[in-house]
Amino acid sequence: MNFLKGKVKVNGSAGFEGPNGVKLPLASAPANSDGRPAVYGVRPEHFTIADDGAEAEIVVVEPTGSETQVFAKLGGEQVVAVFRERHQFNPGDRIRLKPDPSAVHLFDEATGKRL
């Protein structure tokens, strides 16, 4: 699982502000959580490539037959994404990654408990 530290942002809709201000989607936010430090957890298979995703720079590409593993920097932090399709990515390429908001796990930064 990928873990990114940041804070919950509730400004009309739920969201998460990760490292270096990267904006990530949330399906919903806990009550009274605006500005709360948290850890955003997303599994590699829950990323998609989308025009409205956050920009990431590819570091390593590992084609593994039926899927492609991509190691990238998102907001300066390393994440891993797995795509079922084959892609012709190269290190240094920039892609836009979007986590599936319904598959995101949110944890309290201080206690590690799920929010």
Residue 113 lies in a domain: no
Q: How far apart are CA 20 and CA 35, in angstroms?
A: 15
Count of structural domains, the chain: 1
- Which residues form the domain of 87? 2-108
- Mind listing the pLDDT tens digit for each residue in 41-98? 999 999 999 999 999 999 999 998 889 999 999 999 999 999 998 889 999 999 999 9
Specify the pLDDT at position 86: 83
Q: How far apart are CA 15 and CA 34, in angstroms?
A: 9
Q: Is 65 left (phi over 0), alpha (psi -120 to 50) or beta?
A: left
**pTM exceeding the 0.85 threshold for the entire prediction:** yes
Residue 98 lies in a domain: yes
Specify the pLDDT at position 20: 94
> b/e map of 29-46 (b: 16 or more CB within 10 Å)?
bbeebeebebbbbbbbeb
Residue 19 lies in a domain: yes
